[in-house]
Amino acid sequence: MPLVRSFFPILAFAAVYVAITLVITNSYYQLMMTLVLVWATFGLSWNILSGYTGLVSFGHAAFFGIGAYTTALGQMHFDLSPWLLIPIAALFGGLSGLLIGFPTFRLRSHYFALAMLAYPLAVLYVFEWLGYQEVTLPMKRENAFAFMQFTDPRAYTLIALGMMIVVVVLSRLIERSRFGMSLIAIKQNEAAAEAAGINTLAWKLRAIAVSGAIASATGAFYAVVLLVVTPVSVFGMLVSAQALTVTMFGGVGTVWGPVIGSAILIPTSEILHAQFGARFPGIQGVIFGMAIVVVILAAPEGLFWKGQEFARRHWPALFASRSKSTSGDRTDMASANMMAEPSPANRAHDEVGKVILSVRGLSHSFGGLKAVQNVSFDVSEGTILGIIGPNGAGKTTVFNLLNGFLRPDAGEILLHGRSVVGWTPHEMCNAGVGRTFQIMRPFSRLSVIDNVVIGSFVHARNEKDARRLAENAIDKVGLSSIADRVANELTTKQLRMMELARALAGRPRLLLLDETLAGLGQSEVTDVVAVLRRLAQEGITIVIIEHTMHAMVRLVDHFVVLDHGAVLVEGPPRVVTQDARVIEAYLGTKWSAYAQA
Amino acid sequence: MLKLDGISAGYSAISVLNGVSIEVGAGEFVSVVGPNGAGKSTMFKTISGTVRPRTGTIKFEDIDLVAVAPSRRAHLGIAHVPEGRQVFPSLTVMENLEMGAYTEAGRRHWRTNIERIFSLFPVLAERTNQFAGTLSGGEQQMLAIGRGLASSPKLLMLDEPSMGLAPAVADFIFERLIEIRRQTELTILLVEQRVAEALESADHGYVLEAGRVVLEGTSETLRADDRVRAAYLGM
Amino acid sequence: MPVAQLVENILQSLTAGLLLGAIYGLMCVGLALIFGVMRVINFAQGDFMMLGMYAAYYFFVALGMNAVFGNAVGPYVAAFLAGPLLFVVGYVIHQALISRVSGTKTAQLEGEGHYAQLVLTLGIALILENGGQIVFGSILHSVQTPLSTNAWIISLWDGAVEIFVNRARGIAALLSIVIIGALAVVIARTRLGKALRAAADNPTAATYMGIDVDFAHRIAFALGISITAIAGGLLAPNYPFHPYVGLEYVIIMYAGVVLGGLGSILGAFWGGMTIGLVQQLSTLILPTQLQNSAIFVVFLLIVFFRPQGFFGRVVERT
């Protein structure tokens, strides 16, 4: 099973680490071995939130400190054992995560960063005021084991190693699951993720809860190792910086990142500190600072990814795709496709001509500007509707209103007869509305199938189902032969088809396509038009905004022409393109006069 | 004065322009028209420097423009009136015009230029201390053109000045362009969606569609050509 | 507590708040200049201020400002000299490092490269703080001037209420206001100032006008650093400092800038003033350690409920 095999590296790492640990006798270095693991685990917790979602937290010290004080105060006041307190700390950490996340996720990027920065620092002063300038854990000579107090520091290393492995396993499970993919989707393009059916707020909250829980557990353990807790040492900015630094240096968004980062930076700085600390106090900080500066300028994603890129270029054989497994399944997929639950095609035959989307009196203003004025039209199932109009006519605004990104000031939107005004984009996706975006933002490092599978989570029952839906969708757009290719190697047309596949994976009944043909050459346009026509024949309703008129006139059944936010004219292509009002809107008022003269 | 030769350009993976060649002679008024998405703005941006062409050359008075940094192009005598006006919203009308005169030529001829700008657009003279962000669309367009004139340019380039403006206001802007042509000897390059207005005072024009020049000629010949309509509407 | 005493306490805190607030205001203006023009979040702003403090100290002591100008005037001359020195430092750092993650090159990036800016300036902060510890040592430094122990006394209501205005702080506050006034004139009236505002408003259009936006950013950055450094130099005679002092002021600066309205340079002055007042007035009701917490709470409240701030014009940026 591939999952188990992927854990070989970490187990190998663990084995080597244990070997080294047993050999070291210097107590300072033994402590260092423990700390490397502690900071690696802390980095892993940071990674779960910030590495995957891209929401950079500068305040993870808040969770770390909460955990540390849970152990310190729990032992001091209630005489509880760290074995119990560490899980309790994790619980506190998770709850704090939710408490912090809920209001803070609403903030925009730099406000989010500043707010996260402020939390631990605010709490720091509170703890100082409470009188906890220095809390020392009481020594327990009788029940040493029960209170996690060992005479041999190497015992701590082993516990830390155990903790780290658990967190690595957890991270890997998250990474490969729907959880991880949803987070990555949010990082890549939050709007597109919402439109693909991902409840972004819910996933962010889950991420911060897990991240906070792990960070607190780590902090709780740290307190046991050091036996002394001061507000600055656990809530201070340097602690938050540490999580960020080791992960960023080692590699963001991968379990190996924090491990590599910690394994390199901590020993380096500690050894430098040991050798030169007397003459150059603060050398550790300087090293960390320089590490961050160099990394952010030269390899912003971290050493792991840079290394992988390097390896890919020089030893491509190591990264041969797993195409063997999928090509064998393809024939099964094809037949399975036909026997699957009633495909949209069957439904179309029953309900041809039925109105699937009805828009009435839709209006929306931005400040004083009337972007959309009293727009009404109907879309029949299985047809292709084109929304056209000169620049600034309000076409994209209409889409955003239909999709749930904007709430109309007035008007009604009926999907299958049900009002969907005020629904969020992911709810719309759930109801069967798929959307593609003008500016594509694929997950460049993932394969086509991994990019598409994001779209299938909305209706898939489990991971396997999701994958099957994704493969179906890829098949529909004709990308099956490159399903395993990495996204940053694709051409524009292939990227557009992949976007389309992602929308299809959610099994939509209505597709909103935003400039799908932009940037394509003549023959590519013909191919895409063919795919879209086929989808319509299978019963999917398509509404498309496009400027490439010569393609649109061949593709659509019906046009709605917008000008200055209002509907100018509707009708089939032949009629609309000769309509005097449309000509006037596009070419100017004086054109008709000249043309007739 | 300005010559584009075989320009291909685009954004990241997308190719917008494919081998576009146009020529603007000294003292001429040239219009480039075409439907949305044809690449008109991208062409404008390759001349102003915001977008770097992948292939092809751009020559301004025999200077290779692609080698010149974008912020230096104004100093060569190229004035840009960008798409969507792009005024400085928190600066006053007067300060906007002063920014237009940032170039040396602009500073030297400030007196003459500001008089001309105010006579062409009296409403700007009335609102010199108003913040540009609070002006109406039409007033902002006048300000943007005034800003362009304030740099004492050799070439005045306008990117879709009628966009987002009410028809009456757009007509006024075009009429003012004709007046500018009459009063000065400026070379003008107009990129526009509204064909008739754009061709009205132009010496000659180009029609762009899907990143290529599909038609060119004098404004008389283009005005009578149904292929222009077909370029816009597809059939 | 007798009314007179209460009134005196309040007025004393108010005065202290105003004096401190003026310097905080100057500090915030430096940061606002950088954020307003470049939209860069500079983590290391507090550490550049720290460098300003040490620069003032060394100018005063080592370079003999003390000898030339005496104890009273010397510290302030030294503070002013820190400005040009840090201007050069800021210029070089922008050219070498900051420009790679900000400006016209990164304007198209997702999130406008904010992540990279935050992390880079965090790295610079760490280097400056810890490097500072190596170079300057961790003993507290301060600039000695007899003015810090002298005060003007304002007597109200026939001596019932007496307010002490510390001379050193009073002069520092006045100088801050003078500098801000000068800066305001430069920004509003000079060609450079208008070019900076134009670059901040609309970098694309500014480029079209012939303004080199990247250079404008460099000047803004260097200027912002030098102004905050002077603020540090003005604080030096009154507040002992150490290499990590920057951390304490970073949040104060950001709170002031956000309060004033991100993008409003003069609003930041009022923001800083408010923070100073909040800090001093909170001593009336809160114990010392919680004063700083109070600032954070205020900061978080603003960020949540009124992120656009209170002062300064709010004109939409293109």
Residue A186 confidence (pLDDT): 86
Contact C100 A58 (CB under 8 A): no
Residue B170 confidence (pLDDT): 85
Tell me what percent of the residues of chain B surpass a pLDDT of 70. Answer: 99
Q: Cα C308–C313–C315 angle (5° rounding)?
A: 80
Q: What is the ipTM of this complex?
A: 0.88
CA distance A234 to A237: 9
Encoded amino acid at A487, one letter: A
Does some domain include residue C74?
yes
Residue ranges in chain C whose pLDDT is less than 50? 108, 110-112, 314-318
Contact C130 A286 (CB under 8 A): yes
Does some domain include residue C137?
yes
Does some domain include residue C38?
yes
Domains: count for chain C: 1
Output the pTM of the full model: 0.84
Does some domain include residue C210?
yes
Is residue C108 within 8 angstroms of chain A, CB to CB? no
Distance (Å) from the C-alpha of residue C277 to the closest C-alpha of chain B? Answer: 29
CA distance A456 to A476: 14
Contact A293 C254 (CB under 8 A): no
The residues near B185 (Cβ < 8 Å, ≥ 6 apart) are B27
Lowest average pLDDT, out of A328-342, B66-80, B211-225, goes to A328-342
Q: Which chains touch A (3 or more CB pairs under 8 A)?
A: B, C
Distance (Å) from the C-alpha of residue B9 to the closest C-alpha of chain C? Answer: 17
CB A573 within 8 A of CB A556: yes
pLDDT over threshold 70, residue B188: yes
Q: Which of B193, B196, B198 is the closest to A391 by Cβ?
A: B193
Q: Cα A303–A304–A305 angle (5° rounding)?
A: 95
Chain A residues in contact with B234 (beta carbon < 8 A): 549-553, 573, 577
CB C187 within 8 A of CB C220: no
Chain C residues in contact with B99 (beta carbon < 8 A): 194-195, 198, 206, 209, 211
Place of tokens 């597809």: B234
Residue C29 confidence (pLDDT): 93
Single out the residue of B188, B193, B191 nearest to residue B203, CA to CA.
B188
Q: Which chains touch B (3 or more CB pairs under 8 A)?
A: A, C
pLDDT digits (tens, 9 = 90+) for C197-251: 999 888 889 999 999 998 999 999 999 999 999 999 988 887 888 888 888 888 8
Place of tokens 């976007």: A499
CA distance C71 to C53: 17
Tell me the residue range of the domain where C288 lies. 3-304
CA distance C151 to C15: 12
Residue A330 confidence (pLDDT): 37
According to DSSP, the β-strands at B155-159 and B78-81 are parallel
Write the Ramachandran bin of B14: left for phi over 0, alpha for psi from -120 to 50, otherwise beta: beta
Does some domain include residue C200?
yes
Distance (Å) from the C-alpha of residue B222 to the closest C-alpha of chain C? Answer: 31
Tell me what percent of the residues of chain B surpass a pLDDT of 90. Answer: 28
Q: Please, what sign has the CA dihedral across residues A492, A494, A499, A500? A: positive
Does some domain include residue C309?
no
Residue A328 confidence (pLDDT): 34
Distance (Å) from the C-alpha of residue C97 to the closest C-alpha of chain A? Answer: 8
Interface test with B, best of A488, A490, A569, A591 (most B CBs within 10 A): A591
Contact B15 A583 (CB under 8 A): no
Helix (H/G/I), strand (E/B), else coil: A438: coil
Instruction: Going residue by residue through chain A, which has 597 residues, state the pLDDT in tens, using 9 for 90 and above.
Output: 456 667 788 888 888 888 888 888 787 888 888 999 999 999 999 999 988 888 888 899 999 999 999 999 888 888 888 888 899 999 999 999 999 999 898 887 777 888 888 889 888 888 888 888 788 887 777 777 777 777 777 888 888 999 999 999 999 889 888 888 889 888 877 888 888 888 889 999 999 999 999 999 999 999 998 888 888 889 988 888 888 888 988 888 888 899 999 999 888 888 887 888 777 877 878 888 888 899 888 888 788 888 888 887 887 776 654 433 333 333 333 333 333 333 333 333 334 568 889 999 999 988 777 889 899 999 998 899 999 887 777 888 898 899 888 899 999 999 988 898 888 888 888 888 988 887 777 777 778 888 888 888 888 888 888 889 999 999 988 888 888 888 888 888 888 899 899 889 988 999 999 888 877 777 888 889 999 999 988 889 999 998 778 888 888 999 999 888 889 899 998 888 888 888 877 777 666 665 554
Does some domain include residue C312?
no
Distance (Å) from the C-alpha of residue B211 to the closest C-alpha of chain A? Answer: 9
CATH code of C228's domain: 1.10.3470
Does some domain include residue C217?
yes
SS (H, E, C) chain C: CCHHHHHHHHHHHHHHHHHHHHHHHHHHHHHHHHHHHHCCCCCCHHHHHHHHHHHHHHHHHCCCHHHHHHHHHHHHHHHHHHHHHHHHHHHHHHHHCHHHHCHHHCCCCHHHHHHHHHHHHHHHHHHHHHHHHHHHCCCCECCCCHHHHCEEEEEECCCCEEEEEEHHHHHHHHHHHHHHHHHHHHHHHCHHHHHHHHHHHCHHHHHHCCCCHHHHHHHHHHHHHHHHHHHHHHHCCCCCECCCHHHHHHHHHHHHHHHHCCCCHHHHHHHHHHHHHHHHHHHHHCCHHHHHHHHHHHHHHHHHHCCCCCCCCCCCCC
